[in-house]
Structure 1
Amino acid sequence: MTRNIVVLSFAEESKAFQAFSELKQKSADGAFSLVNAVVLARNANGEITSRDGWADGSSGDHILTGTLLGSLLGLLLGPLGVLFGASTGALIGSSVSLDDAVDQGSLLDHMTHLIPVGITAVVATIDEATPDAVDAISRSLDAVILRCPAEIVAAEVDATVKAEAAAVDAARKVLFEQHKAEWKAKIEDWRQQAKAGSEQLKARIKNSLQ
């Protein structure tokens, strides 16, 4: 059995939910083992939103916490998903081939390119001996499918999270340096005020002694 992350992308929302249902049913029948799954769609603002989720017979996004799919979902629902979605839209409207862009992009690029505005997708973690059963669902519902070993997805998710953390740390350092510059200017201003106050005080003392 190989554990894969599978993305099934649909132009019709109803077919995405049908696939979501069929994956659960086929898993129960023993065709493969569905670990967890989520239904995603991209709104007009470019944000990817979760429409439904499933794991171990339960529904809701919270059940994916602590899982690879949950970590992936966190990236797709955040600024990264919007960023990739915006780049997809820009590519579609340009002379650059979207296929070429996908070939050159990361795995997360590939996934988000399969969820442009107006598309609903099912993203699932599946243990499968062969791809036949899931591919049959994909063909019957006219889906675009992307399949990748879970370990590769996990490595990319981990690398992306680390890159985001590094970017945040770098931003904090920049802000700290900016603040240091601001504080330096303010400290110098305070020093000048203190010097002026000291001169005024000396003058008053001198006048009082005359």
Structure 2
Amino acid sequence: MKQNIIVVLFNISSEAYQAFSELKAYSQTTDALVAQAVLIKKENGLIIPAESTDFTANTVEGTWTGGLIGSLVGILGGPIGVLLGGATGALIGSDAGTAQTLGEGLLLENTAKKLDNGSTAIIILAQESDEAVLDAFFHRFKTVILRQDAAVAQQDVLAAIEAQEEVARQAHEAWKKQRKAERKEKVEAFKADIKQKFDKLAAKLK
């Protein structure tokens, strides 16, 4: 049995909502246990959680936001997600109907690159002994399925968080240097202005 993070990318938003609605009524099997899922959409460069479900909690919304899925959504919507996304291409083409198991660092990158503005995706935490079960569930729609071991995904998330913190630190340092340079210019201008005023006063005494 493998614990996996599965990202299902949809070409048609309405199909994503239909699939998620059906997923919330999913009948668990020993071959594929679904723990948590969230439907996200990308609008104007922002990653927006639209719906979520947590089969391990007592409420429909559950606690996905504090776990691995929540961290993935946060990274995809942050500066690292933007950097990883780069110049994106068409989501669905020759990849439609495929399912890929990805190694270290690749789930975040592939998801970021394939999530165009207006596109939707479902992110799932599942335990699988047979990947064909959920593949069949989602391949009824025009989708690309990306899959990664949950422990590897967690390592990637932690690395991305560290990178994000470093980017923020560097940006803050650059901002401080810029502010210092601006302050120096303003102080020099102030000193020149004050000197000019006193020079004028002194000239009147002559």
Interval containing the TM-score (normalised by the shorter chain):
0.7 to 0.9
Contact 1:32 1:127 in 2 (8 A): yes
Q: Which residue of 2 aligns with 1:166?
A: 166
CA RMSD between the two structures: 3.3
Q: Aligned partners of 1:161 and 1:109: how far apart in 2?
A: 14
Give the TM-score normalised by structure 2: 0.73
Count of residues in correspondence between the two structures: 192
SS in 2 for 1:87: coil
What amino acid maps onto 2:11 in structure 1?
A: A
SS in 2 for 1:169: helix
Q: In terms of Rg, which structure is larger?
A: 1
What amino acid maps onto 1:67 in structure 2?
A: G
Flag structure 2 segments of 5+ consecutive residues without an equivalent.
91-101
Shift of 1:82: 4.9
- Judge which range, 187-196 or 14-23, deviates more: 187-196
Q: Which residue of 2 aligns with 1:49?
A: 48
Shift of 1:77: 2.9
Q: Which residue of 1 aligns with 2:143?
A: 143
Contact 1:24 1:34 in 2 (8 A): no
Give the TM-score normalised by structure 1: 0.72
The residue correspondences of 1:9-28 to structure 2 (distance < 5 A) are: 9-28=9-28
What amino acid maps onto 2:48 in structure 1?
A: T
- Alpha carbons of structure 1 residues 142 and 171: separation in structure 2 relative to 1, 3 Å: closer
Shift of 1:203: 9.5
What amino acid maps onto 1:58 in structure 2?
A: T
What amino acid maps onto 1:87 in structure 2?
A: A
Flag structure 1 segments of 5+ consecutive residues without an equivalent.
93-101
SS in 2 for 1:58: coil
Shift of 1:171: 1.5
Q: Aligned partners of 1:200 and 1:116: how far apart in 2?
A: 63
Task: Say yes or no: does 1:58 pair with 2:84.
Answer: no
What amino acid maps onto 1:111 in structure 2?
A: T
- Alpha carbons of structure 1 residues 186 and 9: separation in structure 2 relative to 1, 3 Å: closer
